[in-house]
Amino acid sequence: MKKLVCLLIPMSLIFVSCIFAGIDPDKKVQLAYHLRLDGKADMAKALLDSILSDDSTQAMAHYEMARLKYYMFTGGGKMNVDEIRASIGHAVTLDPGNVTYVYYRAIVSFLNAFMAMQQGQQAEIKDRIDETCTQFEKVLTLKPDYHEAMLYLVEIYGLLPRDMGGDSVKAIRYAEKLAGLDGYFGAKAKAALAPEDSDPVKYWEDLLVLNGRKPDFLMEAGKACLYKENPEKAEQYFNEAMKLDPGKNILLLDLARYHMFKVMQDQKLAGSELPIAKAYFEKYLITKPEPIAPLKAYAIGWLGKIEMFQENQAQAEKRMNEAKATDPYFSRATGIPTLLLFDPPDQISHHYFSFFMPF
């Protein structure tokens, strides 16, 4: 069986090279992107390898390769952060004026710094954070109104201590600038810098009164409720946000994860919390728009973990096999895969996720 698998892999490379021969390289990259969204990461990688083998100067192919490696990294693939950094570095070198590539390089730089934090590499953290801030500042030289890049700088400078690269003066300066550019992102920046004893729920509810019941503000009010241990109220806000913007159905995963975290903190709560989490994961799977394969597999994978918690071994194996069949590289991380990975490769991404907050 192992010998057969080894033979199939090079055959797939030949198949990919032949079937897409003669197609414009950028269109091939788009095809690789759609293959990844369809749960076929290995075939996507084979196509990207083929593109870069023919012409290593294809910046978009390097960018999509970086995103594919990032995705495979979260799914237990044989990838590492240095490989991701190398791919996005090639993309930026080849097309330094492309803000999409420069922004993604900053995200990967932040991932590199975050890994140092997680692994306790104290000597590495400040240098990596300084490099991350430099990369986000480069984004702003290309696109001064890139709200997401500015918000990252607010969080980094405002939430980290000085010996790790924090700088409260810079954080306030960027927050004030962001407030002048966009009401929602300005509000998020102010929330990030709020004192620990502040009331985030009241903060976002006051903004709902001032700004109207817009989906983004409803989403933030719901997340604030989760931090204040009020999932019922969070669900009300999320439901309202999803009614206005069905694309926010991913918020159901936040509700599911909230109840999973309760069990992780206290396994005595498994009997009451796991059925609630399971119901949210199952509800997400039948929402519209239909989840793409990576997110669908992620949710199914969590259902498998729930079955394991409940010692339903046969059902757990069935769910995990279903997840792997949907997408072998589905994320094994607790965090929801960032939607930055799923925007078309020729599009500026406006998805934001925090390295500091679980929701």
Q: How far apart are CA 64 and CA 48, in angstroms?
A: 8
170 and 101 within one domain: yes
175 and 204 within one domain: no
Query: How big is the chain by its Cα radius of gyration, in Å?
Result: 21
What's the pLDDT tens digit per position in 101-115? Answer: 999 999 999 999 999
Angle, CA of 341, 344 and 345, to the nearest 5°: 85
Q: How far apart are CA 328 and CA 79, in angstroms?
A: 14
141 and 60 within one domain: no
273 and 244 within one domain: no
Reading the block at residue 214, the tokens are 């817009």
Residue 76 has what pLDDT? Answer: 86
Residue 23 has what pLDDT? Answer: 72
Tell whether 17 is covered by a domain: no
Q: How far apart are CA 196 and CA 52, in angstroms?
A: 49
Check: pTM over 0.85? Answer yes or no: yes
Tell whether 335 is covered by a domain: no
189 and 113 within one domain: yes
Task: Among 207, 229, 255, give the residue marking a domain's end.
Answer: 255
Residue 5 has what pLDDT? Answer: 37
Tell whether 49 is covered by a domain: yes
Residue 16 has what pLDDT? Answer: 55
Q: How far apart are CA 217 and CA 244, in angstroms?
A: 12
Tell whether 102 is covered by a domain: yes
185 and 104 within one domain: yes
Tell whether 12 is covered by a domain: no
**Residue spans of alpha helices (H) in 245-344:** 251-265, 270-285, 293-309, 313-326
178 and 103 within one domain: yes
204 and 186 within one domain: no
Structural domain containing residue 63: 24-79
167 and 241 within one domain: no
Residue 226 sits in a domain whose CATH number is 1.25.40
Tell whether 260 is covered by a domain: no
Tell whether 342 is covered by a domain: no
Reading the block at residue 72, the tokens are 């495979």
325 and 281 within one domain: yes
Number of independent structural domains in the chain: 4
The parts of the chain modelled with pLDDT lower than 70 are 1-22
209 and 170 within one domain: no
Task: Among 193, 213, 242, give the residue marking a domain's end.
Answer: 193
242 and 206 within one domain: yes
Tell whether 356 is covered by a domain: no
- Reported as type and span, the H/E element at residue 310 is none
